[in-house]
Structure 1
Amino acid sequence: MRRWTRRQACTAVQAAMAACAALALAGCTAEDGRYAERAPGPAARAVTVVRDDVTYPLTVEITDWKVGPHPQVPARGDAVRFTYRTTKTGHLPTVVAKVAVCAVDSADVVLLCDNISVHDESPGGSRVEDGDSWIGPSPGLKPGLSGTARVLLVPDQLLLGPHAGDPKDDDGYVPPRIPGPGERLRTG
């Protein structure tokens, strides 16, 4: 067994600390080789879905929205009902895409977000799906959804790959987190 001098031990510790700092600055963790949490892409009314550095031939667009009580729980406060359209712009492999949809105020500050899942229902056509959904209600949310100025989509695919956690087949994709109330969205 090799014995280290005090100077060698200090140098080794400094080198290890420098390597850890470099990994942290690069946004990586040594724990499992995955990238650290990253901010979501720029939000907009219509987005092309992306997954890390892959762009899907799929667009999602908010076509309409309104604020009002949710018909199933009207006493819980306002909610935002929105409609959306998804369109294929090329060959889309069998995929389910999940994207965040956020109600924001006039300064693009998030009031509340949820997500929608879209998938290819018409392999031969260009239209994938028209749909509608709700954001909220969320009792106790301040300032509440009545201050909604826009409904925006975040382009990033939020689902992990089909082999997430499998050390042999996992592709390492880690989606960004869904923005929370009070965060300002970056808009495109």
Structure 2
Amino acid sequence: MFPARLLAGAPLALVILALSGCSSPWGCTDATAERGEAGVRVEIEDTSGRPLGVTAEVVDWRLGPHPQVPAEGDRVHFHYRFDGADEISGPGVDACAVDKDRVALGCQTVYSSGAWPEPDGALTGDDWLVVEHPEQVAGVLLIPNDQSYDGPTCEQDIKDGGGTHPPEPVGTGDQL
């Protein structure tokens, strides 16, 4: 079916492919983006720090019990707005309740795809943050780094992984 010369060269071809950059760990590197400056209104940026042309803003916030679990005490209820975002696959940012010193008390990621379209083209939504000491909350801040896509790492996929990934999520106690 195949000439003997072609079959004899097959192992050599496999060795060449195995040594090429396609399967080599030397070409795959991971990096983590630097966390941007938190604010009430932020220009969302990709992992390289370039603006996406989308802004996110905390419109307002208040303390109060969640209507579905009032016995659990006060939580932080906040409203947010995305301008310039795509309804379906738009960006996501970390939202954090902070104390007067801008220390994170509780955080979670909010996505523009989870918001509702407004007549002016903005996307708005609301969410709840759970914090251990709600009486310490002085505000809600957004981190400008887009959290909507974090591709595979080199460890997960040596061939297609690597590149710059969003910064580590903000944790309770982090200074913003």
Same fold (TM over 0.5): yes
Matches within 5 A, 1:1-188: 32-35=28-31, 37-53=32-48, 54-88=50-84, 95-119=89-113, 127-136=121-130, 138=131, 141=132, 144-161=133-150, 167=158, 169-170=160-161, 172-185=163-176
Conserved 8 A contact 1:99-1:115: yes
What is the TM-score normalised by the length of structure 1? 0.66
Structure 2: gaps (5+ residues): 1-25
Q: CA deviation at 1:104?
A: 0.4
Superposed CA RMSD: 2.9
Whichever residue aligns with residue 150 of structure 1, its letter is G
Q: CA deviation at 1:173?
A: 2.9
C-alpha separation between the residues in 2 aligned to 1:116 and 1:75?
A: 25
Q: CA deviation at 1:86?
A: 1.1
**Residues 114/121 of structure 1: CA separation in 2 closer, same or farther (3 Å cut):** closer
Matched with 1:16 is none
| Percent of pairs with identical residues | 32
C-alpha separation between the residues in 2 aligned to 1:31 and 1:67?
A: 49
Q: CA deviation at 1:178?
A: 1.7
**Residues 113/121 of structure 1: CA separation in 2 closer, same or farther (3 Å cut):** closer
Q: Deviations over 1:24-79 (max 9, x none)?
A: xxxxxx794011x4542100000111112231111111111001111111222221
Q: CA deviation at 1:146?
A: 2.1
**Residues 77/121 of structure 1: CA separation in 2 closer, same or farther (3 Å cut):** closer
Structure 1: gaps (5+ residues): 1-29
SS of the equivalent of 2:62 reads: strand
C-alpha separation between the residues in 1 aligned to 2:45 and 2:91?
A: 9
C-alpha separation between the residues in 2 aligned to 1:66 and 1:121?
A: 20
Conserved 8 A contact 2:38-2:141: yes
What is the TM-score normalised by the length of structure 2? 0.70
Matched with 2:14 is none
When Rg is computed on C-alpha atoms for both structures, the one with the higher figure is 2
